[in-house]
Structure formats: structure tokens, C-alpha cells
């Protein structure tokens, strides 16, 4: 690839790439060379070093292996626990769906790290926008479904327990997967700069049209608003019920059921869990929206100003949090807070460890003839 690049530059009237990093990336996208060189080659040329780039930092391989192991282990235990419980509750189906999407998010992130020297520069940019968006949007829709499920179960418990079933949740999950696939992979089906004949100044590095980035940013922002609003309403409702129970006038309050001590403790735990969910969710997804807005600025401005303020470090940080850290934190925040799921996973691990120990260190068999009987005086 690098030899072909040198021959192409020498045999054409194109000037050498600019010395500045941002303009260099734009130069490769605008001069028709993005189909001839790999992303890794462009990074080496524009970054003036093989160590430049969002994926090149010390200890990346160790971090990748460790985070992938934790992600697959924790989310695999969640899926195993849901299957072991065999409960047809909508909540458990949504928890399992989130665990599967978190595993896929981590795998996709790791695969992207290996494609920098394999695919062309333009195709890698398309992959960043489409392939990375797919598990991220799936994870967001999974969180939206979980939040709506929690909202309806708390705000309208009679309707929820009498109407919402596992079939409704399976249809919603299937619809989320199909919709996310159609939306995220639409640039590969024609919604790109070549398919729409869009000028380079309205494209993300000559690959993806700006309107697609705008649409995905608005969609992600809407999902964030839904998750925060529903969980905030649930938190306020639980706190109001706890205050009514503490004041001792809950029986006079219209529409409020009697709360014994067990209900009060359960509501307190739910309120704390919801508050933790809101904080963790905002940390991860505001970072992702920050990156989306940065990409929009790069489309309608210039990459040079963004490189000067550290877009390389920004993308690295967002990549680590959204694709590696969030899939590890999600099962701890959403799944293992459920006592039934936590109990079945712990019991299964303990029983499995006992069986393994008995296989490795089998109990010694004592022959009956070796047993010494005590003497009996007659």
C-alpha cells in the first residue's frame, strides 16, 4: 500500500500532503486517495509517527485483553442467570438483551482495532460511523426499553402486571435490532457522499454525509432524554411514597397503597439504584454526545482546529468509556442489583466450584477391611 501510494503521488500532479495533521487527513479524503491506502498508513503519514492515533497508547493490548475478559465474563453470567431462572418476566428479557449487546459492543470495538492496517482509509471511516454506531445504538435502545419498563411498572403497576407480557418485550427487542441495523448501516446502502453526490465540505472525511451524523446525534440525544426523564420520574415517585410512609399519613393519601416495613426497605433500595443508574448513564452518554457534536463541528469547520484541541485524545477517551468500560459497568448496575438473579448466579458458581474441587481432589475411599472395630469386652 505504501509503495502504491508513493507511485501514485509521483505519477500525479497532486502536491504532497500538508504538514499539519488535520489538513493532512482532509487532503487524503478530498483527493481520491482514500481508496488506495489503509487507515494505518494515513495515520503514520499525517501523525508523523506510528504511535499517533486514538488506538495507539502504551498498554493497549493488556487493557484490551483484560477488559474483554471482564466484559464477556460478567455479561455471560447475566445471560446464564436469566436462562437459569426461567422466569417469563419482561425485565429479565430486557436484562439479557442488554448483556448480549454489551458483549457485541466489546467485540466490535476489538475488531475495529485490528482493521487499521487491513481496510482502506475511506472504508475505515465508514466503519467508524456505521459499525461502531450499531452496538452503541443497540445498547442505548436496550437502556431505553429498560427505563420505560421500570417507569410503567412503578407509575402504572396494575396496567403493567395485567397487560405487559414477555411477548410484548420480545417484539420490542426484535424491532429495536432491525431498526438499529437499518439506520446504522444505511451509509453502506447509499446514504453516503458518493451515493448522494455530496460535496466534500459537507462530508465526514469524504465518506459519510453530514445529514447522517446529524440524524444519529438527534436520535442519541432523544434516547438520553427518555432514559433520564423516565428514571428521574421513577426516583421522584419512590421518594414521594417513602415520605408519605414516613409521615404516617399514607392511608389518607389518594391512590397510594399501604407500605409495610418490607415495602419501605425495597423502595429505598430501588430509589438508590435508580439514582446510581442516572449518574452512570449520564457520564457515559454525555461523553458520546460530546464526540458526536465534535464530529459535526469537523464537518462544517476544519479538522485542524479540532486536532489542536486534542480530538485524538477525545476519541480515545470516548472509545474507552463507551466501548470498553460501559459494557463492564452495565451488568453491575442493571443486572446484579436484582436479588433473584444475583442469588442464582452465586449459587451456580458455588456449586460449580464444589464439583470442580471434588473432581480435582476426590474423597479417599476407605476399604471396609481397613476399618478397625473397637474390641468389645464380654
CA–CA gap between residue 306 and residue 189 (Å, rounded): 29
- Phi, psi (5° rounding) for residue 38? -85, 165
187: three-class secondary structure by DSSP:
helix
**pLDDT above 50: residue 99:** yes
**pLDDT above 80: residue 210:** no
293: three-class secondary structure by DSSP:
helix
Q: Can you tell me the mean pLDDT for 183-200?
A: 75
Longest C-alpha distance within the chain, in Å? 117
**pLDDT above 50: residue 255:** no
Q: Which residue has the cell 441495523?
A: 181
- What pLDDT was estimated at residue 1? 47
- What pLDDT was estimated at residue 34? 62
- What pLDDT was estimated at residue 263? 67
Average pLDDT, the chain: 77
Question: Sorting pLDDT into bands at 50, 70 and 90, what band is 252?
Answer: very low
CA–CA gap between residue 185 and residue 213 (Å, rounded): 12
- What pLDDT was estimated at residue 143? 92
**pLDDT above 90: residue 174:** yes
Question: Sorting pLDDT into bands at 50, 70 and 90, what band is 304?
Answer: low
- Sort 313 into a burial class: Cβ within 10 Å, 0-12 / 13-18 / 19+: exposed
Instruction: Identify the CA nearest to 5 among candidates 46, 33, 43, 47.
Output: 33
Q: Can you tell me the mean pLDDT for 118-124?
A: 79
**pLDDT above 50: residue 250:** no
More confident residue, 48 or 101: 101
**pLDDT above 90: residue 75:** yes
Question: Sorting pLDDT into bands at 50, 70 and 90, what band is 377?
Answer: low
- What pLDDT was estimated at residue 365? 64
Amino acid at each position: 500500500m505504501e509503495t502504491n501510494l508513493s507511485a501514485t503521488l509521483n505519477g500525479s500532479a497532486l502536491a504532497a500532503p500538508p504538514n499539519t495533521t488535520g489538513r493532512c487527513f482532509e487532503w487524503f479524503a478530498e483527493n481520491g486517495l482514500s481508496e488506495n491506502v489503509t487507515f494505518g498508513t494515513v495515520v503514520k503519514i499525517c501523525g508523523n509517527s506510528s504511535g499517533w492515533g486514538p488506538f495507539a497508547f502504551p498498554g493497549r493490548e493488556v487493557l484490551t485483553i483484560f477488559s474483554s475478559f471482564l466484559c464477556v465474563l460478567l455479561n455471560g453470567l447475566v445471560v446464564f442467570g436469566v436462562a437459569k431462572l426461567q422466569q417469563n418476566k419482561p425485565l429479565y428479557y430486557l436484562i439479557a438483551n442488554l448483556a448480549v449487546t454489551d458483549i457485541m459492543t466489546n467485540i466490535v470495538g476489538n475488531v475495529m482495532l485490528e482493521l487499521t492496517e487491513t481496510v482502506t482509509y475511506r472504508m475505515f471511516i465508514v466503519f467508524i460511523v456505521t459499525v461502531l454506531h450499531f452496538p452503541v445504538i443497540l445498547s442505548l435502545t436496550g437502556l431505553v426499553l429498560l427505563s420505560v419498563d421500570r417507569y410503567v411498572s412503578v407509575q402504572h403497576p396494575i396496567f403493567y402486571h395485567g397487560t405487559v407480557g414477555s411477548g410484548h418485550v420480545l417484539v420490542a427487542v426484535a424491532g429495536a435490532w432491525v431498526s438499529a441495523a437499518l439506520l446504522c448501516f444505511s451509509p453502506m446502502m447509499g446514504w453516503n457522499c458518493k451515493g448522494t453526490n455530496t460535496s466534500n465540505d459537507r462530508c465526514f472525511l469524504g465518506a459519510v454525509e453530514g445529514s447522517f451524523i446529524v440524524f444519529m446525534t438527534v436520535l442519541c440525544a432523544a434516547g438520553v432524554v427518555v432514559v433520564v426523564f423516565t428514571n428521574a420520574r421513577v426516583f421522584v415517585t419512590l421518594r414521594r411514597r417513602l415520605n408519605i410512609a414516613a409521615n404516617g399519613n399514607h392511608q389518607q393519601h389518594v391512590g397510594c397503597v399501604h407500605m409495610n416495613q418490607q415495602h419501605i426497605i425495597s423502595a429505598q433500595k430501588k430509589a438508590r439504584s435508580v439514582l446510581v443508574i442516572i449518574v452512570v448513564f449520564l457520564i457515559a452518554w454525555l461523553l458520546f454526545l460530546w464526540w458526536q457534536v465534535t464530529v459535526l463541528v469537523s464537518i462544517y469547520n476544519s479538522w485542524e482546529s479540532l486536532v489542536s484541541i486534542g480530538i485524538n485524545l477525545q476519541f480515545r477517551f470516548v472509545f474507552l468509556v463507551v466501548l470498553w468500560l460501559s459494557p463492564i459497568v452495565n451488568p453491575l448496575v442493571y443486572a446484579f442489583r436484582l436479588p433473584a438473579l444475583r442469588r442464582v448466579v452465586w449459587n451456580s458458581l458455588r456449586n460449580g466450584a464444589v464439583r470442580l474441587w471434588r473432581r480435582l481432589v476426590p474423597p479417599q475411599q476407605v476399604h471396609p477391611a481397613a476399618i478397625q472395630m473397637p474390641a468389645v469386652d464380654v
